[in-house]
Amino acid sequence: MTIQNDMRTPLKKVRGLGASRAGTEHFWHQRLTAALNVPLILFLFGVIASMFGLGFEESRALLANPFVGLLLAAAIINIAWHMKLGMQMVIEDYIHTDGIKALALLANNAYCVAVVLVALYALIKLALLG
């Protein structure tokens, strides 16, 4: 009598997938975005604090600075990516119906892309077009 130690289904063995598929990669992406969020959010708070008391033109001039604009754009993208990864993990862990899970993952991706597009549009419009 042979004892089977491998708990994967035959299909998983053929595809070479374990129980979590790409869990380690997802874990490291989430940790990397979290680590990058620390200085980016501190910079974001610094920009917001420096804008207190400024008028519209002075605020627009601050956002038009290429250094400030690029770091704010990086913060927007990184925060949204981290948000996407976190919600993806929650959806994958707690929603067990395949159709609802696929719809929730699609909605999560669409929401994060929409947040990035709207925020970058506002930043570009304020910085460049006035």
Q: Give me the tens of pLDDT residue by residue for the chain, a chain 130 residues long.
A: 555 666 666 666 666 555 555 668 888 999 999 999 999 999 999 999 999 999 989 999 999 999 999 999 999 999 999 999 999 999 999 999 999 999 999 999 999 999 999 999 999 998 887 5
**Is residue 11 in some structural domain?**
no
**Is residue 16 in some structural domain?**
no
Range of the domain at 41: 25-129
What CATH number corresponds to the domain at position 51? 1.20.1300.10
DSSP run (H or E) holding 56? helix 56-64
**Is residue 77 in some structural domain?**
yes
For position 72, what pLDDT does the model report? Answer: 96
Give the count of domains, the chain.
1
**Is residue 15 in some structural domain?**
no
Q: Is 123 helix (H, G, I), strand (E, B) or coil?
A: helix
**Is residue 111 in some structural domain?**
yes
This prediction has a pTM of 0.78
Total H helices, total E strands in the chain: 5, 0
Six-digit token pair at 7? 């708990």
